[in-house]
Structure 1
Amino acid sequence: MIIQPKTRGFICTTAHPEGCAAQVQRQIEYVKAQQPVAGIKNALVIGASTGYGLASRIVSAFGAGANTIGVYFDRPSEGGRTATAGWYNSAAFEQAAQDAGLKSFSIVGDAFSDEIKAKTLDLIRTELGQVDLVVYSVASPRRTHPKTGETFTSVLKPIGETFSNKTVNFHNGEVTSVTIEPATEDEISQTVAVMGGEDWQMWIDALQEAGLLAPQAVTVAYNYIGPEVTHAVYREGTIGRAKLDLEKTGKSLNNQLGATGGRAYVSVNKALVTQASAAIPVVPLYISLLYKVMKEKNIHEGCIEQMYRLFSERLYAPQGTSTDESGLIRIDDWEMREDVQEEVSKLWSIVSTENLAEISDIASYRREFFQLFGFESEGIDYEADTNPEVSIPNLR
């Protein structure tokens, strides 16, 4: 079939297998061109098929030579529909890892469930013995609690007051104003239940109780703080409340793992084009302006560059891991530089539909959005007949 992008809001409902594979290979080649990362033998990446989770798995495998297990919730091609981008990404990763002589396995299912946790533990026990790195990178709109059976749904809303600010439709470049009503207490608590730290804690508890965590294991989860312009819908909104819970969990896990020499961290990462960030009002416009400024200063990074720097210069740095006063790893340090934020703020104050193309990098935002789904990748013939049915070599 001829596979073309079909969008619905901030989601692309189709994905291109060859384009996804090309994007994965580009990330692999970047990592292989860098200095090796020391310290990882067996990695478990929960939420491994896209964005920071996929990049973490690539750095672990091709930067450190680690065996990996990826857990993710994606679907294969069926009934004339393409598979999800995460399925194609993972198929490409698994094939590359196999070709490189690395052990790699995929488990597809609901990471929140006891069933998938048990299946993962059995696989670790059988194939790896123990894991010394656990990356928690789950982004989901809903969660069914494995003990109570209750289903929670997250929302992207401010807390306390109605929020209004600029946003952009990145498909047509129209800058408009968005107004979002504040969340209810129930919506806040549900968002925390989905995106907070409880499931991360459950994973580490299960691994530790089963004796599958190496004595000096490292675990890391990902967060975003961002500038003041995004705070109402992120840091001070429902997502931010959930991330505060994640940070609290990180401190608790650090104490828990410290007894055997282990460590737990929350890494605050840079704003990037991801399926999750595309859904947040205000953020796509901010990212478009940020890209413009950071590229001009030659300090722009994508997911793979961020994760390589996180692993090589922070998590496994020879001099030890540096954190801020709250115990957070700040790999968003270049984004939050004063000179960067000053310029972004100036552009934010004047950006409009008329000048968007001139003063922002909306073109890169749009291109990277489609690249998430395997489109607009260099060297791919998108008019060619393509088989959407792709198998994952080590699917368990």
Structure 2
Amino acid sequence: MIIQPKTRGFICTTAHPEGCARQVQRQIDYVKGQAAIQGPRNVLVVGASTGYGLASRIVSAFASGANTIGVYFDKPAEGARTASAGWYNSAAFEAAAQEAGSKSFSIVGDAFSDEIKAQTIDLIRSELGSVDLVVYSVASPRRVHPKTGEVFSSVIKPLGDTYTNKTVNFHSGEVTEARIEPATEDEVRQTIAVMGGEDWQMWIDALREAGVLAEGATTVAYSYIGPEITHAVYREGTIGKAKNDLEATALRLNDQLSSQGGRAYVSVNKALVTQSSSAIPVVPLYISALYKVMKEKELHEGCIEQMYRLFSERLYAAQTPVDEKGLIRVDDWEMREDVQAEVEKLWAELSTENVYELSDLEGYRREFFQLFGFDTEGVDYEADVNPEVAIPNLR
């Protein structure tokens, strides 16, 4: 079939297998062009098929030579429907990792469930023995609690007062004012249940109890802080409450693992175009302005550059540098004073009339479609392509 992008709001409902494979290969080629890392040997990535999770898996396999298990919730092609981008990404990764001689396995299902945790533990035990790095990179709008069965749904809302600020329709380029009503207490509770640290804790507890978490193991989860421009809807909103819970979980896990030489961190990463960030009002416009500034200063990084720097200069450096809260900061270039000063200046002037001049909205839109395998150099999008792609080591 001929596969073209079809969008619905901030998501693309189609994905292109060849385009996704080329995007994965581009990341692999970047990592293979960098210095090797004396890092992990056996890695579990929970939330492994896109964004930072996928990049973490690529860095583990191709910079450190690690064996990896990826857990993710993606769907294969069915009838006229393409597979999800994460499915195609994972198929490409699995093939490349096996060709490179690394063990590589995929488990597809609900990472929040006890069943998937048990299946993962069985696979670790039979194929790897144990894991010495656990990356937690789950991004989901919904969670079914494995013990109570309660269904939680997350929301992106401010706290206390109605929030208004500029936002952009990145498809049309129209800059408008976003107006978001504040969250209720129950919405805050549910967002924390979905996006906070409880499931991360459950994963580490399950791995430890099963005896498949190696002595001296490291675990890391990902977060974002960002500038004042986005704070009301992000860091000081419902998502921020969930991230606070995630960071508190890291401190607890670090205490628990330290007796066996283990470590737990939250890494605060740069704002990037992801399926998750595209859903947050204000953020796409901020990222577009940020990209313009950082590209002009030659500071821009994508997911793979960020994760290589995290692994090589933070997690597996001689000493892991953290801030006063114990957080790893690879958002340091984004948050430089000169970068933020220029972004704020652009922000004050941004409008529909000048958005393409004062921001990198074109770059934002291109990266958005590349998430789904489109707008990728070297791909003939008029060619007939088979949407049914098998994942080599799917369990």
Q: Secondary structure at the match of 2:15?
A: coil
CA distances 1:34-59 after superposition (whole Å, capped 9, x unpaired): 00111210000000000000000000
Distance 2:309 2:382 in 1: 37
Alignment of 1:1-396 (within 5 A): 1-318=1-318, 320-396=319-395
Structure 1 stretches (4+) deviating beyond 4 angstroms?
A: none
Where 1:161 maps in the other structure, the secondary structure is coil
Q: What do the CA deviations read for 1:181-211 (whole angstroms, capped 9, x no partner)?
A: 0000000000000000000000000000111
The SS at the match of 1:71 is strand
Task: Name the SS for the 2:135 alignment partner.
Answer: strand
Shift of 1:173: 0.4
Q: Over aligned residue pairs, what C-alpha RMSD do you find?
A: 0.4
Spell out, residue by residue over 1:53-112, the C-alpha distance to the aligned partner (whole angstroms, 9 max, x if none): 000000000010000000000000002100000000000000000111110000000000
Provide structure 1 residue ranges, at least 5 long, that are not aligned to the other structure. none
- One-letter amino acid of the counterpart of residue 148, structure 2: T
One-letter code aligned to 1:7 = T
Q: Deviation digits for residues 234-259 of structure 1, max 9, x if unmatched?
A: 00000000000000000000000000
CA deviation string 1:217-243 (max 9, x = no partner)? 000000000000100110000000000
Q: How far apart are the structure 2 equivalents of 1:179 and 1:362?
A: 21
Instruction: Answer yes or no: is the 8 Å Cα contact 2:39–2:311 preserved in 1.
Output: no
- Kindly provide the CA deviation profile for residues 14-37 of structure 1, in whole angstroms up to 9, marking residues without a partner as x: 000000000000000000000011
Offset from partner CA, 1:309-337 (integer Å, 9 cap, x none): 0000000012x100000000010000000
SS in 2 for 1:178: strand
- What amino acid maps onto 2:160 in structure 1? G
**8 Å Cα contact 2:28/2:62 also seen in 1:** yes
3-state SS in 1 of match to 2:48: coil
Q: What amino acid maps onto 1:86 in structure 2?
A: G
Q: Cα deviation per residue 1:131-150 (whole Å; 9 max; x = unaligned)? A: 00000000000000000000
- 1:353, 1:254 → 2: CA distance? 47
Q: Which amino acid in the other structure matches residue 234 of structure 2?
A: Y
Identity among equivalent pairs (%):
79
**Structure 1 counterpart SS, 2:177:** strand
Distance in 2 separating the partners of 1:38 and 1:218: 14
The one-letter amino acid paired with 1:34 is Q
Matches of 2:36 and 2:145, distance apart in 1: 39
State the one-letter code of the partner of 2:141. P
In the alignment, the residues of structure 2 paired with residue 380 and residue 198 of structure 1 have an alpha-carbon distance, to the nearest angstrom, of: 41
TM-score (norm 1): 1.00
Normalising by the residue count of structure 2, what TM-score does the alignment of the two structures yield? 1.00
> Residue 38 of structure 1: SS of its match in structure 2?
coil
Where 2:160 maps in the other structure, the secondary structure is coil
- AA at the equivalent of 1:73: F
2:74 and 2:87 in contact (8 A); partners too: yes
SS in 2 for 1:222: strand
